[in-house]
Structure 1
Amino acid sequence: MSDFTNTSEYEEQFDPRLYLETYFHLGSGSLADDFIRFVLENFNKTFKSGAVKGSTLIDIGTAPSIYQLLSACENFDDITVTWHTNRELRELQKWLKNEPDAFDWSSIVKHVCEIEGNSASQKEKEEKLRGKIKQVLMCDVSKCNPLAPHEAPKADCLVTTVCLEAACKSYESYGTALKNLSNLIKPKGHLLMAGDLGANYYEVGSNKVFSLPVNEKFLKNVISESGYEIIQLVAFGKPEDAAFDTSDYEGFYFVHAQKK
C-alpha cells in the first residue's frame, strides 16, 4: 500500500458537493458545526493578533472549501489556492466564478463577519476573498515541491485544514508531507493547521473516507521534527452529548507553528 492516498480512489469515494452539503451549512446540526466554530474562532484570533501577516499565503488542499480563508483575506493580498482532484477543482471554480449553482457559504460567511466584528456584508466578504485569490494550482503533498511543476515564491504563511489526515496513509508520510510543505514557506514563515483528532474516517454519503488518526502528542512531535517551532496548539474534545455517527473523531486541533 502506498504511503499516500491514491488520487483516483479518493476521487471515487469523495464527492465534494455532497461533502459540502453534508457538513458546511452552519447550524444544521452536523458534527462540523463544532469544528467550524472552533476553527474559525482560532483563525480569527490568530490573524487579528497581528502575529501572522505578510503579502503571500498558500492554502494546501483548498478545494472545495473556502471557510479557512475568510479571515486570512484581511491580512494577505496574494493568496494561492490549491486542488488535488478535478471534481474538487470544478466545485471551487463555481464559487470563484460566482456561478448560480455554486455552494452557498452564506451561513459560514455570516458567522465569520460576526466574530470579526466586520460591518461588511456577506457578499462583500466573499468578493474580497475572491479578489485576493491570485492563483489556482494543483497540489500533491507527496512531492518535494507540492506545487510542481509550478515554482511559486516562498510564502509568508501556509494554511492547511483537514488535508494531511486524508492525504497521508501513515505517520511517516505525514512527517514527509510536513517537510515538503516547508519548502513552500519562507524562513520564519508561518504554518497554520487544523483538523480532526482520532478520526479513522468520515462519511460522505454511503462512503467512508479514510482519515489518519492523529493525537496531540503525535502532532507536537511530528511538527517539531519537521523543522517548525510550535507557537500554539489548541485542542477541543468531542462534546459528551455529541451523537454524531458520521465519523469516529475524538476532537479537533488548531496549530500555529513557525518555520525554523
Structure 2
Amino acid sequence: MAEFTTASEYEAKMKARLYLETYFYLGSGSLADDFLRFAMGKLHSKFSSGAVKGSTLIDIGSAPSIYQLLTSCEVFDEIIATWFTESELCELQKWQKKEPDAFDWSSILKHVCELEGNKVTTKEKEEKLRAKMKVLHCDVSKSNPLAPAEAPKADCVTATVCLEAACKNFQAYSLALQHLSSLLKPNGHLLLAGDLGASYYEVGTEKVFSLPVNEKFLREALSGNGYRLIELSTFGKPEGADPEISDYEGFYFAHLQKV
C-alpha cells in the first residue's frame, strides 16, 4: 500500500498529462476502459432519465478530466469544475482555450455522443461544455471545499475517483462527505464513482495513494453523514485486467440525496 500522498507530494507526483495519457484513451485496453464505460453509463442514466437535474452542478476533483461532465452539460445550466493541483488546472485550461497541445478527448467524446443517440457532434458537445463551465479550486478536507470562493448551492455534486485519493483514512472519507453536503441545496443529489479495494494507482513510475474502500464501509458511510442512499452499484475487476497499474478490486457508483 502506498503512503498517503500529501498535498505537496501530490503536486509533485501527479503529472497531469501523463495521468491523462495513461488512463483516458478509451479503447486502450487499460483499467480505465472498464471504469470509464461504467461511470459514464451511470451518469448518463441518472441525467437522461430526469432523476437528477437542476440549474447548478459542482464536480469535485474534476481537473484535468472532462469525461464526467459531458452528459451533465445537457441537463444543467451552470457547471462548476474544480482543481487541486496547478498541473491539473494547466491541462484543463489548455482544453478550455483550445490550445493545439491540449489532450485529445475524441475517443471519450465519441462514446458519450453515442450514448446520447448522436444528437450533437463531438465538437458541439465540447463547445456546450465550455460555454457552461467555470473552474474553482477545491479541497475536500475543508468544511467549505470551495473556500474562499463562493458558489451557489448546487442541485447536484459529483465526484469521480476523487475521495479515495484525497482522504487519508475512513474517518476522513466520512468527513469529506459531510463537507460536500454543505455545497448542496436541501434534497440535492450527490453522485460518486470510484475504485474498490485500490491502495494505489500508478502515474509513470510514481505510486499515488488510494484509500481502499469496500462495499461494507460505503454502505455505512453513504447511509449516514446527512444523506439517504438511493443506489450503490458495484462492478468487479474484469478478468485479464493489468495487475501492475493498480491493485483495485472493482468499481462503485453511488447515488445519495441530502436529507
Taking structure 2 as the reference length, what is the TM-score of the superposition? Answer: 0.97
- The equivalent of 2:165 in structure 1 is 166
CA-atom RMSD in angstroms = 1.2
- The equivalent of 2:109 in structure 1 is 109
- The equivalent of 1:16 in structure 2 is 16
Q: Report matched runs for 1:178-193 at 5 Å.
A: 178-193=177-192
Distance (Å, rounded) in 2 between the aligned partners of 1:122 and 1:217: 39
Q: Does structure 1 residue 156 correspond to structure 2 residue 155? A: yes
Distance (Å, rounded) in 1 between the aligned partners of 2:176 and 2:118: 35
Distance (Å, rounded) in 1 between the aligned partners of 2:49 and 2:216: 26
Distance (Å, rounded) in 2 between the aligned partners of 1:256 and 1:95: 29
Structure 1 residue 119: Cα displacement: 2.6
Q: Report matched runs for 1:117-132 at 5 Å.
A: 117-132=117-132
Distance (Å, rounded) in 1 between the aligned partners of 2:145 and 2:39: 24
Q: Report matched runs for 1:47-196 at 5 Å.
A: 47-133=47-133, 135-196=134-195
Return closer, same or farther for 1:220/1:203 CA change in 2, 3 Å cut-off: same
Q: Does structure 1 residue 213 correspond to structure 2 residue 212? A: yes
Distance (Å, rounded) in 2 between the aligned partners of 1:30 and 1:75: 30
Structure 1 residue 65: Cα displacement: 0.3
Q: Deviations over 1:172-214 (max 9, x none)?
A: 0011111001000011000000000000001000001100000
Distance (Å, rounded) in 2 between the aligned partners of 1:139 and 1:174: 15
Report the secondary structure of 2:223's partner residue: helix
Structure 1 residue 5: Cα displacement: 4.5
Structure 1 residue 245: Cα displacement: 1.6
Structure 1 residue 223: Cα displacement: 1.4
Taking structure 1 as the reference length, what is the TM-score of the superposition? Answer: 0.96
Structure 1 residue 7: Cα displacement: 1.2
Report the secondary structure of 1:219's partner residue: helix
Report the secondary structure of 1:169's partner residue: coil
Distance (Å, rounded) in 2 between the aligned partners of 1:47 and 1:243: 31
Confirm or deny: 8 A CA contact 2:58 2:81 kept in the other structure. yes
User: Runs of 4 or more off by more than 2 Å in structure 1?
Assistant: 240-244
Confirm or deny: 8 A CA contact 2:189 2:255 kept in the other structure. yes
- Tell me the percent identity: 69
Show structure 2 runs of 5+ residues with no match.
Answer: none
